[in-house]
Amino acid sequence: MRPGARLTLDVTVHESRISASRPELGIVRWQWTMQNQRLEQVLDLEATSMFNHMSGISGTLR
C-alpha cells in the first residue's frame, strides 16, 4: 500500500456471546477483510476479542 491508497473495510461478526466464566465480558468472533482501489485483497483477519459487557446499554451483546 502507498499513501493515498483508497481502502475498503468489510467486517463480519460470526458470533457474539457473554463469557460463561466472566459474565461482565462479552466475546466477539469476527472477520475483517480489506481491499484497495484495484479490488485487491490487502487484509484478511479473523479474531476473537473480549469487551466489557454492560447490561442494558444499547448495542451490547445479548
From the first residue on, what is the mean pLDDT of each consecutive set of 10 residues in the chain (62 residues)?
A: 91 94 92 96 96 63 48
Nearest to 7 by CA among 37, 30, 27, 33: 37
User: Taking the complete model, does pTM exceed 0.85, yes or no?
Assistant: no
In the prediction, which pLDDT does 61 show? Answer: 47
Name the grid cell of 15.
458470533
Nearest Cα to 41, choosing from 3, 1, 4? 1
The confidence score (pLDDT) of residue 31 equals 97
pLDDT for position 26: 92
Domain ranges in the chain? Answer: 8-52
